[in-house]
Chains A and B, each alone.
Chain A
Amino acid sequence: MDQSRRKFLKIAGLSALGLGAKPAVDALAQGAPGKFELNPKALKAKRWAMVVDVRKFRESGSGEEAMQRCIKACHTVHNVPDFPNPKDAVKWLWTEPLGNAFPSLEGQVLHHYVEERLKGLPVLILCNHCDNPPCVRVCPTKATFRREDGIVMMDYHRCIGCRYCMAACPFGARSLNWRDPRPFIKTKLNREYPTRMRGVVEKCDFCAERLAKGIMPACVEACKNKELVFGDLEDPNSEVRELLRTNFAIRRKPQLGTRPQVYYIV
């Protein structure tokens, strides 16, 4: 008797589960009536990477001005807010003194005379789009993820603002919107690109939306003297590969093993 009641309950439970799960599975499995397509004009690469030519910024006369032009282009395109309190600062593209950008190389590769040569110019800093991104590994909602072509993307829809990624990123490339960013957008509003909301982490995404349209990232476009070069690292004939072949380039904090893909020619 006991045995059969046990069996009955098991079967009843399983069938209830099955009946209950069916509508839920059906609802989830329902696809769109149409199809999704890539933009045929999109720029494609196996591994996007950027080369920052710090020397060229120095050569272009007023390097500081050129850097600010890049930053402004980026922040205008992406509606990046400008908070007055530096603790709230939201950074996609910004500058740091040479020693702060490369703390482990200071006094070694970047000795006093390199700094003298660069005339105390700061360095342009952005997300390194690491090959082994710690931010992606810690994100509990997969809001940040690494694309096939190497871009470390943000899905703002999924971000819950836990800031694990900010703790994980050794480059400080991620910023949380502590407050509603909209009143702090100082640039002309780009109506084709969303803003963010309070409690969402944001960062540079190598202008994924522009690449999808077939145009280069905003900062690269704003640099008239090719101070920033963007291209496919896996293509031996690309401009970035040529620059890296013919120049000595360093990366930020390579000893941490995140394999950054933004290269600096000093």
Chain B
Amino acid sequence: MFDSWKIVIGILIFLGLVTFPIWYSKGKAGPPPKLELPKKEKKCVESTAYMASSHMQLLDLWRNAVVRDNDRFYVNAEGKKYLMSLELTCMKCHTSREQFCDRCHNYLDVTPICWDCHIQPGLKLPGRSK
């Protein structure tokens, strides 16, 4: 094989660059975000573990149930009944988009489009005082 040393050096440089994010942070992840949890309510619609891992699937099922099947209520595994609404149920406890939704979504670099249409608490329309 001709010029094998050039190829080996090239491969080493390439591997070094590709793994840069791993060795630069020395295997440590950035600190996870701290979420502002509701004060008055202790339990969410489902268990905390389920909400943390699968809230997006649940919200997706909710929106299909509401818009397409006209079902408006959700009865959770414990039998408690909730109105299926982002504005009227979720955001009544999680009162701040910035301190709850965005903190995690920014950390994970995901950009859900919920708020393009749904109205976040305290939204001010452009060019208006209230």
Contacts and interface: CB of A to CB of B under 8 A. Distances in A.
Contact of A212 (B70, B74, B81, B117): B70
Interface residues of B, number: 34
B117 A197 contact: yes
A38 B65 CA distance: 9
A173 to B, nearest CB: 19
A213 B85 CA distance: 13
A145 B64 CA distance: 13
Contacts of A254: none
B17 interface: no
Interface in A169-220: 182-183, 185, 189, 191-192, 194-197, 200, 208, 212-213
Contacts of B67: 153, 155, 157
Majority SS of interface residues in chain A?
A: loop
Interface in A127-167: 145, 147, 153, 155-157
A156 B126 CA distance: 22
A208 B68 CA distance: 11
A38 B87 contact: no
B70 A147 contact: yes
A191 B72 contact: no
A57 to B, nearest CB: 31
A34 B71 contact: no
Contacts of A182: 125-126
Contacts of A208: 70
Interface stretch (B4-12, B28-36, B55-63, B100-108): B55-63
A36 B65 contact: yes
Contact of A38 (B72, B76, B116, B125): B72
Nearest to B124: A189
B69 interface: yes
A27 B69 CA distance: 21
B116 A33 contact: no
B14 interface: no
A155 B87 CA distance: 17
A157 B72 contact: no
Contacts of A213: 72
B68 A145 contact: yes
Contacts of A185: 125
B75 interface: yes
Interface string B27-52: 00000000000000000011000100
A35 interface: yes
A156 B117 contact: yes
Contacts of A194: 87, 117-119
Contact of B74 (A36, A145, A192): A36
Contact of A183 (B65, B119, B127): B127
B88 interface: yes
A39 interface: yes
12 contacts: A32-B74, A33-B76, A33-B77, A35-B75, A36-B84, A37-B75, A153-B67, A191-B87, A191-B119, A194-B119, A195-B117, A197-B113
Interface of B: 45-46, 50, 57-58, 61-63, 65, 67-77, 81, 84-85, 87-88, 113, 116-119, 123, 125-127
Interface of A: 30-39, 42, 145, 147, 153, 155-157, 182-183, 185, 189, 191-192, 194-197, 200, 208, 212-213
Given A36-B61, A191-B87, 16 more contacts: A32-B61, A32-B62, A34-B45, A34-B76, A34-B77, A36-B69, A36-B71, A37-B71, A38-B73, A145-B68, A189-B123, A191-B123, A195-B117, A196-B117, A197-B117, A212-B72
Closest 6 CB pairs of A and B: A36-B71, A197-B116, A34-B76, A194-B117, A37-B73, A36-B65
